[in-house]
Amino acid sequence: MTRAKLSREFFGTLPNGEVVEAITLTNANGMRVRIIGYGAAIQSVYVPDAQGRFADVTTGYDRLDAYVAQPQYFGSTVGRVANRIAGARFTLEGKEYLVPANDAANSLHGGELGFDKVNWTVTACDEDAMSVTLSHVSPDGDQGYPGNLSVTATYQLHADNALSVRYQATTDATTIVNLSNHAYWNLAGEGAPHDAMDHLLTINAAHYLPVDATLIPTGERRHVAGTAFDFRTAKTIRAHVRDVSDEQLRHGRGYDHNWVIDEVVARAPRLHAVLKDPHSGRTMRLLSNQPGLQFYAGNFFDGSTAGKAGKRYHMGDAIALEPQMFPDAPHQASFASVALHPDQTYENIIIWQFGATAGDADEHAPQ
């Protein structure tokens, strides 16, 4: 057994002179997680395989300058609004707001200078709880959004090899909020010879949200039965990810869609997805209180980015599973609102439960 410990160290200095910290959480099983202040991001996650061999299962960089020079949302907290806002504009309480168009005509993950590109402040470290809290204040008008928004992200490493993050936000004026974490996963290890396409994936949803050619939801909730989007029983991602006969997969060059876990935020986290790597036996169960799950299959990795192990990331080398509210909610009357009022507290709880087994995945989702 390893002694559980929390360490805090220098990670780098931003061009504006700000110092970025790194906090490493280690539990008694030897599982180790590193969180950095830049983007309140998960920088590394070391977990054992079925034989007890440890590997880092999330993408990222060793150096701060790479995060700045080649931002890929690796492990980052994304917001104020995760995912896309059509036309880079929205109307709130009768007033139209313009936000940065950084994804063709749409706004993506909070804009050009979203929460992934700011240096969060480390406000608390608790070795007993094995947790770290980071905070950020987004001023009124930041990236076009109204209201002063105060946000915290509390990461905790648990004794049973679960990692969790609790996002909370409050505002002094009505605004819109939809935070998520954009970690990419390859349970074989981020530098392994295997990509993530052989991973077995289960998604606990009977419907998904079709998108148009710009990846904006059409508003339809489409049943997954008989489609490439049916992950109610575990199957490999590779099975259909490059199926060019499916218009939806052509739109995203693979999966880049939101699954309907529920219609509203839950009182407590519930199962969203289960991921298993058949090569290592590592497993990951994903839980959240959010109603939607964005599954992105790493379709646009083009070899231009080299990660911590020195391996260049290519299409399908890692995948993102992002619990969140539904994309483009301000323009979709049938989607749950992402408006946050001054008397409310926004909360997104995400739990990643890691394990290892040599057996087949047996998770099944409701019909």
Q: Where are the domains of the chain?
A: 5-356
Classify domain 5-356 at the CATH class level.
Answer: mainly beta
Average pLDDT of the residues of the chain: 96
CA dist 257 and 105 (Å) reads: 18
Beta strand pairing call for 107-108 and 95-98 = unpaired
Asked if residues 169 and 325 have their Cβ atoms less than 8 Å apart, the reply is no
Residue 338, pLDDT score: 98
Residue 91, pLDDT score: 98
Catalytic residue among 21, 199, 257, 322: 322
Residue 358, pLDDT score: 72
Backbone angles phi and psi of 331, in degrees to 5: -105, 5
pLDDT tens track for 280-295: 999 999 999 999 999 9
Which single residue is written with the structure tokens 């052989």?
198
Active site residue 240: no
Backbone angles phi and psi of 134, in degrees to 5: -120, 150
Of 114, 120, 105, the C-alpha closest to 42 is 120
Residue 250's H or E segment, with its range, is helix 247-252
Residue range 321-346: mean pLDDT, rounded: 98
pLDDT band per the 50, 70, 90 thresholds, residue 237: very high
Active site residue 322: yes
Residue 348's H or E segment, with its range, is strand 346-356
pLDDT tens track for 36-49: 999 999 999 999 99
Residue 1, pLDDT score: 65
Catalytic residue among 109, 182, 240, 257: 182
pLDDT band per the 50, 70, 90 thresholds, residue 367: very low
Residue range 344-365: mean pLDDT, rounded: 79
Of 278, 58, 32, 42, the C-alpha closest to 190 is 58
The better pLDDT of the pair 2, 243 is held by 243
* Chain centroid to CA 213: 22
pLDDT(365) > 70: no
pLDDT tens track for 4-54: 999 999 999 999 999 999 999 999 999 999 999 999 999 999 999 989 999
pTM for the predicted model, two decimal places? 0.96
Residue range 122-130: mean pLDDT, rounded: 98
Residue 359, pLDDT score: 54
Q: Within 10 Å of residue 333's Cβ, how many Cβ atoms?
A: 8
Residue 354, pLDDT score: 98
